[in-house]
Amino acid sequence: MNEELQAVEAELLARLPETKIDPTLEREQALMDLLGEPQRSYQSVHITGTNGKTSTARMIDQLLGAFELRTGRLTSPHLASVTERITLDGEPISAERFVEVYRDIKPYMEMVDSGVGVPEREGGPLPLSFFEAVTGLGYAAFADAPVDVAVVEVGMGGTWDSTNVIDAAVSVVTPIDLDHTDKLGGTPGEIAVEKSGIIKPGGIAVLAQQPVDAAQVLLKHAVEVDATVAREGMEFGVLSRQVAVGGQLLTLRGLGGEYPDVFLPLHGEHQAHNAAVALAAAEAFFGVGAAQNEPLNIEKVRAAFASVRSPGRMEVVRRSPTVLLDAAHNPAGARATAAAVQEAFGFTRLVGVLAVAKDKDVRGVLEAFEPVLAEVVVTRNSLPRSMPPDELAALAVEVFGPDRVQVETRLDDAIDAAVALAEEEGDLGGAGVLVTGSVITAGEARVLLGTLEG
């Protein structure tokens, strides 16, 4: 089956990459029409934002599952296997089922590729992209399962993202910051225009704390479509948090009341805020704060959060020295990770391994990590978009100085070099390595190093 999955993945990767965006829902909607609108056969929660989408999606998934709902989850990108993008009841779809669903819908994808159901365009029809195809595969798999509710993370933006053929009753916007500025806009407010498109008429919009200009755009759109709004810091939020062994202990204020003594096995203040957003989204889905005024069952909420895992997000994969993986790939994410590392681990010496896409704000990422890294080993991951190590090193030297930068052309060599640098101090208990810069970097390092859970 691995060979069959690899063959299917190769066919999908032969399509336009997910970084190539043609802003229209026409192809995805045509595929849905040919498949009989599978995305209408279950309820959905839709999530956009700049950072925290995948972790928030995982939390919402766990919360809904705790209340005996069968869940599907669509997230991107993946760490190691394409099957991770589509989950059923919190677990990646099996390779066998992934292949089966792909084969079932492949003839319909080929029809859309040839222009069936899509308005004519100059130069001929544009085939479905990799992301459009995987989105269609996910929606079909959810309908076939069947699931009660799908938790869906956008790929990029919102309005024209191919996931936006669903009609979600609850739309979630995690914090908006600068990323994909060439496609979405140069300010949080401009980016919010695109992301606000997932908020549906008459639905509920759950909004994390936002920059002022982004908040104004989101609220304006919500009013225009007569959506109910729940805002972090107003209708819900984090009341308190304490660092705990293996995570943090929270008191959350939800739409229906307070939820004390909630253990979250994830590090960082940003994850506490993601938890508040996820709780409000689950409450909104169940009608808490509207028709239902009682809070959700506190024991089920606690059990759901305690079982949350977010691979590749501040994930410990080795001890002595501690090796952390994190998918931070923009300055806002890097700042959150840097703060979380300091708070949760208190390393006396932390060495970074950085491989980042060349179309990102690389200097901003370097500047965010500089205060917490003693040294940085720059390298690349396997994607063509990864910045060449020599170019990354030139930028890193400007931020860190020449004595704190080392270059390795291979990720495995970079990790080995960073471990050696961390061990130079002799105090392995206080030394650490942080591998970061992109989801791909974290995923490839995860494969190289394995995980503590095996």
Per-residue pLDDT, 359: 87
Q: Give 401: exposed, middle or buried? Use CB within 10 Å, 0-12, 13-18, 19+.
A: exposed
Quick one: pLDDT at residue 451? 64
Which residue is associated with the tokens 């304006």?
Answer: 220
State the DSSP H helix or E strand holding residue 238, giving kind and residue range, or none if neither: strand 237-244
Partners of 248 in the β-ladder: 243, 264
One pLDDT digit (tens) per residue for the chain, 454 residues: 689 999 999 999 999 886 767 789 999 999 999 999 999 999 999 999 988 999 999 999 999 999 999 999 999 989 889 999 999 999 999 999 999 999 999 999 999 999 999 998 888 889 999 999 999 999 999 999 999 999 999 998 899 999 999 999 999 999 998 655 555 667 888 889 999 999 999 999 999 999 999 999 999 999 999 999 999 999 999 999 999 999 999 999 999 999 999 999 999 999 999 999 999 999 999 998 766 668 999 999 999 999 999 898 899 999 889 999 999 989 989 999 999 999 999 898 999 999 999 988 999 999 999 999 999 999 999 989 899 999 999 999 999 999 999 999 999 999 999 999 998 865 656 899 999 999 999 999 999 987 654 4
Q: Please report the pLDDT score of residue 177 as a whole number.
A: 82
Contact 423, 322 (CB under 8 A): no
Helix (H, G, I), strand (E, B) or coil at 225: coil
Sorted by sequence, the CB contacts under 8 Å of residue 350 that are 6+ apart come out as 341, 372, 373, 374, 422, 431, 432, 433, 434
Structure token digits, residue 68: 């005996």
pTM greater than the 0.75 cutoff:
yes
What phi and psi, each to the nearest 5 degrees, are found at residue 413?
-65, -35
CB 74 within 8 A of CB 42: no
Q: How many CB atoms lie within 10 A of CB 129?
A: 22
What is the rounded CA–CA span in Å between residue 235 and residue 212?
17
What domains sit in the chain, N to C, each tagged with a CATH number? 2-306 (3.40.1190.10), 315-449 (3.90.190.20)
Helices 269-286 & 331-345 angle (0-180, nearest 10): 110
- 264 phi and psi, to 5 degrees? -120, 115
